[in-house]
Amino acid sequence: MKRVEPAPWVLAIPPYVPGRSKEEIARIYGVSTPIKLASNENPLGPSPKAMQAVQIALGSSHLYPDPDSRALRGAASRFFGCAPEHIIAGNGSDEILDIICRAFLRPGDEVIIPECTFSYYAIASQACGAVVVPSPMSAHRIDVEGITARLSPKTRIIFVANPNNPTGSYLRAREVEALILAVPDSVLIVVDEAYGAFARASDFSSCVPLTREHGNLVTVHTLSKSHGLAGLRVGFGIACVEVMDSLLRIKPPFNVNNLAQKAGEAAMGDDRFLRETLRVTFKGLNTLAATFERLGLSYVPSQTNFMLVHIGSRCAQVYEDLLRRGIITRHMASFGLPEHLRVSVGTTEEMRSFVMALEEAL
């Protein structure tokens, strides 16, 4: 039987390997209720206001969602401080990244992506037949000069996560501005601010206001972490109307689930939940920093809700040992950092369990 050939670049995308669920890990390691500090989820659960909104909307689940996500984008407009016409809503920020790639990439185009960052930028680019040009990190930080040195006539998109996942580091406002100035207007700069809500550094700035002045800038946002809606998939892209015109032509008509629209709208009005999330996150980061210092482990100061820590040559064993003690962290081998773990901030109690388990595992 002759095979239907996929587009030639598709087979270059790594085949999908299903991960182990919390339940599987619990079973394999004989742990009853593992603590998951592996996916940067909100330890407080979902925004309560969001859950109330879902309850109310439940009975309308047989009706198609609003294709324009009007109410959701209205709430995003207030939350991010920009006009709704400059906002596109997506099925998580992953879909926003996909839509950006599909709107702007042709097979063979080049995309510059820092070496140690969120893995979906490369996958979304490769799915469009683009060529990923990796740009080296500098001491776990994204390096603006490294990026601009890799510009070529074929460069079409640059992806920058600010703050960056999985390092937790950030680019200062003037570094981002330098990047924008150094890049030709014909190259799209995508600044992913998935963790922007957690950035406390005085010289960090969201790029949202800059999207008004720069026609080649898109910022990307998610409610997965700061608002506890990872399971509902709500993300945004913010850009000028010209870029928006192309993104909207690609956007599928009913891309954001109705319950996700309602939850996202309510969550962005849940100031109290966001405040509490930040309080717990900052407290957790302080605990992690103090613990790593006490144990003599070097770590990257974090502007996010997780921390990258250097465990050393025994890292794989420590990772496994933590699993046996019921703590799921993320081993960074697939990011080229086999001696590092990424640890998400948990509740005060979860942080205490992690610290005890780490001390024993080391």
Closest approach of a copy of itself to the CB of residue 95, in Å: 7
Q: In the range 101-140, which residues lie near a copy of itself by CB under 8 A? A: 102-107, 120, 127-129
Using CB atoms within 10 A of its CB, is residue 99 exposed (0-12), middle (13-18) or buried (19+)?
buried
Total residues binding a copy of itself (CB under 8 A): 87
From 125, 135, 206, 224, residue interacting with a copy of itself (rule: CB under 8 A): 224
Q: In the range 281-300, which residues lie near a copy of itself by CB under 8 A? A: none
Closest approach of a copy of itself to the CB of residue 354, in Å: 18
Q: In the range 240-269, which residues lie near a copy of itself by CB under 8 A? A: 242-243, 245-246, 248-255, 257-260, 263
Q: In the range 173-202, which residues lie near a copy of itself by CB under 8 A? A: 184-188
Q: Does 81 help bind a copy of itself (rule: CB under 8 A)?
A: no
Q: Does 219 help bind a copy of itself (rule: CB under 8 A)?
A: no
Report the Cα 335 to chain-centroid distance in Å: 15
- Cβ–Cβ under 8 Å, residues 260 and 73: no
Closest approach of a copy of itself to the CB of residue 361, in Å: 24
- Could you give the string, one character per residue 3-42, with x where binding to a copy of itself holds by CB under 8 A and - elsewhere? xxxxxx-xx-xxxx-xx-x--------------x--x-xx
- The full DSSP string for 72-105 is HHHHHHHHHTS-GGGEEEESHHHHHHHHHHHHH-
Report the Cα 131 to chain-centroid distance in Å: 22
| CA Rg value for the chain | 21
Using CB atoms within 10 A of its CB, is residue 241 exposed (0-12), middle (13-18) or buried (19+)?
exposed
Across-strand partners of 328? 36
Pick the closer one to a copy of itself by CB: 172 or 353: 353
Residue whose C-alpha is closest to residue 217's, from 171, 174, 162, 159: 159
From 67, 136, 209, 336, residue interacting with a copy of itself (rule: CB under 8 A): 67
Pick the closer one to a copy of itself by CB: 35 or 361: 35
Closest approach of a copy of itself to the CB of residue 227, in Å: 9
Closest approach of a copy of itself to the CB of residue 80, in Å: 21
What DSSP state is assigned to residue 198? G
The Cα 224–Cα 176 span in angstroms is: 24
Pick the closer one to a copy of itself by CB: 261 or 291: 261
Q: Does 155 help bind a copy of itself (rule: CB under 8 A)?
A: no
Pick the closer one to a copy of itself by CB: 57 or 315: 57
What DSSP state is assigned to residue 160? E
Across-strand partners of 238? 87, 219
